[in-house]
């Protein structure tokens, strides 16, 4: 049961407001109800926001938290004057002091993604996503020379979500391959990967956690049995050590942490903007 409602109000997609707001909310032990209100780009829409926030305040008997990234001063003023929530204006907090410090006006561009579809970075990111989808779970051996990174590990160790995050967030072409019993019997990496050893990064996981994840997919199966999980993890780690592959455990790490660690190892320049 949520204890408070949090609104993310933006004149664009709301992604910036929500990402920043969630980073702050993560410091507190409570579960809010999230309401994203994107494309608030007129005074009429601002009044609708005020009505919804104030209605929520009346129903819950406490102030909603309202994160905003609104560029238009007139629209923001409607919310500032009428809203009965706790208003956190992120642009007002950061952009205006920066204007003073830098001695220049910001562009006041509405919407972070207003012209992104025309940029090379955007098209590269779409290409990376398509590549990662085509090379998910060892589906294809083609064009591996184009890969920025090839993730290996046992089934359900986090390869697919990490690959897609690297593609979507950082524009990396990420292939991933499961290490399976046939590989363990040969005690060798899949043959298609050997020429690309320098691009390989391994993911491992504690057997107990792996069992939990696999059991959700195939309850009470040999695939999810603890002894099988222990065997697969031990064999995979031994193989990675023999091959000199860098690897990390995903057991207690978020996708963001895993991806950042991989980037630090293989493409540190992607952490600079």
List the binding residues for ADP.
Answer: 153-160
| Residue 154 · residue 165 · CB < 8 Å | no
**Rounded distance between C-alpha atoms, residue 55 and residue 59, angstroms:** 6
Q: Which two tokens stand for residue 205?
A: 């996981």
The tokens of 208 are what?
Answer: 């107990």
- Give the contacts of 26 (CB within 8 A, at least 6 positions apart): none
Q: Evaluate whether 20 touches 67 at the Cβ level (below 8 Å).
A: yes
**141 secondary structure, DSSP code:** -
How many Å apart are CA 185 and CA 197, to the nearest integer?
19
Evaluate whether 14 touches 68 at the Cβ level (below 8 Å).
no
Binding-site residue numbers are 153-160
Q: 196: Cβ–Cβ under 8 A, 6 or more apart, which residues?
A: 144, 145, 147, 150
Sorted by sequence, the CB contacts under 8 Å of residue 223 that are 6+ apart come out as: 155, 214, 217
Measured N-to-C along each axis, helices 90-102 and 15-25 cross at an angle, to the nearest 10 degrees, of 100
């Amino acid at each position: 049961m949520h204890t408070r409602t949090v609104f993310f109000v933006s004149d664009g997609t709301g992604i910036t407001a929500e990402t920043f707001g969630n980073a702050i909310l993560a410091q507190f032990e409570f579960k809010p109800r999230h309401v994203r209100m994107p494309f608030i780009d007129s005074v009429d829409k601002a009044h609708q926001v005020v009505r919804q926030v104030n209605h929520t305040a009346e129903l819950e008997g406490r102030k909603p938290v309202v994160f905003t990234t609104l560029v238009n001063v007139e629209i923001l003023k409607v919310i500032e004057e009428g809203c009965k929530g706790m208003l956190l204006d992120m642009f007002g907090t950061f952009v205006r002091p920066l204007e003073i410090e830098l001695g220049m006006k910001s562009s006041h561009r509405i919407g972070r993604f207003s012209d992104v579809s025309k940029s090379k970075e955007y098209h590269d990111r779409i290409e990376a996503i398509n590549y990662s989808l085509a090379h998910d779970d060892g589906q294809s051996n083609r064009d591996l020379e184009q890969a920025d990174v090839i993730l290996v590990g046992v089934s359900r160790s986090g390869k697919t979500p990490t690959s897609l995050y690297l593609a979507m967030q950082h524009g990396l072409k990420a292939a991933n391959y499961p290490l399976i019993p046939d590989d363990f019997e040969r005690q060798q990496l899949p043959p298609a990967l050997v020429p690309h050893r320098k691009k390989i990064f391994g993911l491992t996981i504690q057997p107990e956690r792996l069992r939990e994840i696999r059991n959700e997919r195939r309850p009470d199966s040999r695939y999810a049995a603890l002894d099988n999980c222990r065997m697969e993890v031990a064999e995979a780690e031994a193989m990675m050590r023999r091959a000199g592959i860098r690897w990390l455990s995903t057991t207690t790490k978020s996708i963001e942490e895993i991806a950042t660690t991989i980037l630090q190892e293989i493409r540190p320049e992607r952490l600079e903007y």
